[in-house]
Amino acid sequence: MFSQPKEGQSITDTPQAGKVALTFFFGLMEKWGCSTAEQKILLGSVGNTTYHKYKSLPDVRLSHDLMERISYLMGIHKSLRIIFSNQADNAYQWVSKPNQAAPFNGQSALQFMLSGRITELSDVRRYLDGMRG
């Protein structure tokens, strides 16, 4: 059952929002073909127990850091779906292909994001938003 946010609480700071964000995250990770180790890094280097808790898709209030990470991944996904609107498979494969453009310098976007820092997620999102125009 959906509950209203408490006073001073945003809609993204609810257990339901956490479940929606995690559902999106794990669905995207499957499409991108990410390993468990890669998923844990993209979630902010979470431990095994936390990872498996999240994988069960609980109603859980996620930290601001984790919601921000997943938000960037949502933006990356959205941009790729727009850029490759007639080639859905390419939208999912792009992250794993080597890219000579800055900031990737020969790495794939996924390798770049696997530094574990939010900055790289933001950089990929900004790069793709720039490609969209």
23-55 pLDDT per residue, tens? 999 999 999 999 999 999 999 999 999 999 999
Single pTM value for the model? 0.89
Give the 3-state secondary structure of 23-88: HHHHHHHHHHCCCHHHHHHHCCCCCHHHHHHHHCCCCCCCCHHHHHHHHHHHHHHHHHHHHCCCCH
112-133 pLDDT per residue, tens? 999 999 999 999 999 999 998 7
